[in-house]
Amino acid sequence: MPLKRFDRPIILGMVGDSASGKTTLATGVARILGEDRVATICTDDYHRYARQERAKNGLSALDPRSNYMDIMEQHLALLNQGKPILKPVYSHEAGTLVAPEYVAPKPYIIVEGLLGYTTRAMRDCYDVKIYVEPDEDLRVDWKIQRDTARRGYTREQVLASLEKRKADSPAYIHPQRVFADIVIQFKRPDGQSQERGRHLDVRHILRPTLPHPNLAPLVDAGAKNELSLDLARDHDGKPVDVLGISGAITDQRAAALENLLWDLIPEASHLRANVGEFTDAENQQVVSHPLALTQLLIAYHMVKAALGIHAI
Amino acid sequence: MPLKRFDRPIILGMVGDSASGKTTLATGVARILGEDRVATICTDDYHRYARQERAKNGLSALDPRSNYMDIMEQHLALLNQGKPILKPVYSHEAGTLVAPEYVAPKPYIIVEGLLGYTTRAMRDCYDVKIYVEPDEDLRVDWKIQRDTARRGYTREQVLASLEKRKADSPAYIHPQRVFADIVIQFKRPDGQSQERGRHLDVRHILRPTLPHPNLAPLVDAGAKNELSLDLARDHDGKPVDVLGISGAITDQRAAALENLLWDLIPEASHLRANVGEFTDAENQQVVSHPLALTQLLIAYHMVKAALGIHAI
């Protein structure tokens, strides 16, 4: 069933540090929403300076002053209005901006990147704001895995790059966490210091800035050690719900939970798709239940936001 | 005296065929208005396809389908609102789009190019719309001169390129003429088939779409064969004023006319600058009185438009 019409796209923000799982999450959400109805853009393309210029002026690539923040704002606002943009493209190979890319409006837009929530004007453009925050040792492992396997770096180069950018994360990335509706924390189960994939646990910190679904039936359907929902204080002291999904959840139970989640958005049942896939250390596509359920919960919010505006 | 504040820029359009003198006119107008207060952009940078792609898909670079017309519209509207843009840049050397260029809003913006008046939304963004239309044999000479001296082509290559684009001008360029406030026609004086510079005559076809200055004192001050103002029918049958300035005008008379023109905009007397320079066939900077007076008349309209909005 095609989308009949839309006045403006529903925009998902996916912000977090380098290699924190933004693309993996976004890919699954796009698959659920229908890849032909989703445009994904990356705010890391808005670099003001080429790598060589940054080496000269001493600015980090993560520094907002190194980026066309006003153009990023403008483009988010245009996308929000359903307008096309000519998005800059930064080539990581060349270290320079190259030919820009035309992005046509789609019913759903996913905006991922490091600095997407920096200004108020940017934040106002999103319908759903996610911040991804895996355990730091896990993120480091993910970064080494990705950058050595797919970006041609050595392990030592990745570690040196992490060391060099050490001050940037608290300065520019972490302050955006407070603006997210949901903070997603992948973490290793206790005592499993090597796990980095399908058996990771996940915690969702749910802020009351979005109408979260009633998760009680979900939690009741899960075994106690597989699924939990707890009232807690976030580390800034603010009240939040914390949804926990264990990496040890059985296939059967996970499927039942997926069904329950789909039941919450009956208007979107035609969107059902296999979710939760990611690329593991052996470069294989495998499925993680906590990842799948996370993607589904995010898609739930996107679909609900769309229902407020247009038919699905 | 710096510009105190401005709500939105005043935008000048300069449209016409290849090598019709757009840049020469624009450069002089920018000098009059103050180069630091003018941003000049070229709509020929909005190519959708690289040269190689065009060779494959058979579309001419002048075909609107070969250009990001919607982005051109969007950027004109943003500039009109005083917003910055990240403008695409087409490299004529490489035949591809390269890193885009950040254009900050300025009090005056000159938009030159081949297709700037194509859509209604674009045309609505200009305060003053010029169409340049030199005699065709003069334009061919200018094109050969420019492209062999400054773009590294041979005379044969330029003639071949003109032949190849022969159908494009009537299809895409000429239809925009009707939307101009002023059509500028440089032409050779009778019997001077080699003249291509300082002694060219110029005719301004003045449409009643702009409040043209009272040119009577100007015409009275000129000798009959140096300056003329005649009611006429444009070639579409519509009534127009035709201002004629002879390339044979004396330095003294031209200076007197310039003074008269400046007197029409006393608010802008601090903007006075040497105008009318162009690059001749020997690559020298020389001055043409008809060119200078043309630039001054265009600047007059820009200043008057600015006075309607902001202090100069």
Q: Which residues of chain B does A96 touch, with a Cβ-Cβ cutoff of 8 Å?
A: 99
- Classify residue B312: in a domain, yes or no: no
Distance in angstroms between the alpha carbons of the first and the last residue of chain A: 8
Of A70-79, B217-226, B302-311, the one with minimum mean pLDDT is B217-226
- Where in A153-207 does DSSP place strands (E)? 182-187, 201-206
Does residue B253 belong to the interface with chain A, where contact is any CB pair within 8 Å?
no
pLDDT tens digits along A231-270: 999 988 889 999 999 999 988 888 888 888 888 877 777 7
Gap between the Cα atoms of B190 and B179, Å rounded: 29
pLDDT at A291 exceeding the cut of 80: yes
Q: Pairing mode, if any, of strands A96-103 and A10-16? A: unpaired
What lies within 8 Å, CB to CB, of B216 at 6+ separation is B229
Q: Residue B98 has what pLDDT? A: 94
- Classify residue A311: in a domain, yes or no: no
pLDDT tens digits along A35-45: 899 999 999 99
Cα-only R_g, chain A: 19
pLDDT tens digits along B13-33: 999 999 999 999 999 999 889
- Classify residue B311: in a domain, yes or no: no
Q: How many helices (H) and strands (E) does chain A have?
A: 10, 12
- Classify residue A312: in a domain, yes or no: no
ipTM metric: 0.85
Q: Look at residues B172, B166, B205, B169 and name the one whose alpha carbon lies nearest to residue B187.
A: B205
Total tally of structural domains belonging to chain A: 1
Q: Residue B2 has what pLDDT? A: 43
What lies within 8 Å, CB to CB, of A141 at 6+ separation is A196
Residue that is written with structure tokens 């490489």 in the block: B94
Cβ(B241)–Cβ(B248) under 8 Å? Answer: no
- Classify residue B268: in a domain, yes or no: yes
What CATH number corresponds to the domain at position B96?
3.40.50.300
Tell me, what amino acid is at A195? E
Per-residue burial over A199-213, b if 16 or more Cβ lie within 10 Å, else e, is bbbbbbbbbeebebb
- Classify residue B229: in a domain, yes or no: yes
pLDDT average, residue stretch B40-67? 94
Q: Which residues of chain B does A91 touch, with a Cβ-Cβ cutoff of 8 Å?
A: none
Residue A67: closest CA among chain B residues belongs to which residue? B102
B100/A88 touch (CB, cutoff 8 Å), yes or no: yes
Structural domain boundaries, residue A219: 3-306
Residue B212 — very low, low, confident or very high, per pLDDT cuts 50/70/90?
Answer: confident
Write out the two tokens for B105: 């809003």
Gap between the Cα atoms of A44 and A15, Å rounded: 11
pLDDT average, residue stretch B171-200? 92
pLDDT tens digits along B287-304: 889 999 999 999 999 998
Instruction: Please give the backbone phi and psi of residue B243, each rounded to the nearest 5 degrees, phi first.
Output: -95, 125
**Torsional sign, CA A146, A149, A155, A161:** negative
pLDDT tens digits along A119-170: 999 999 999 999 999 999 999 999 999 888 877 889 999 999 899 888 999 9
What lies within 8 Å, CB to CB, of B150 at 6+ separation is none
Gap between the Cα atoms of B246 and B212, Å rounded: 20
The partner residue sitting opposite B68, judged by closest CB among A74, A83, A102, is: A102
Residue B311 — very low, low, confident or very high, per pLDDT cuts 50/70/90?
Answer: low
Q: Residue A215 has what pLDDT? A: 82
Of A25-39, A122-136, B218-232, the one with minimum mean pLDDT is B218-232
Q: Residue B124 has what pLDDT? A: 96
The partner residue sitting opposite B84, judged by closest CB among A70, A86, A100, is: A70
Q: Which of residues 132 through 151 in chain B touch A, CB cutoff 8 A?
A: none
Q: Residue B1 has what pLDDT? A: 40
pLDDT at A283 exceeding the cut of 90: no
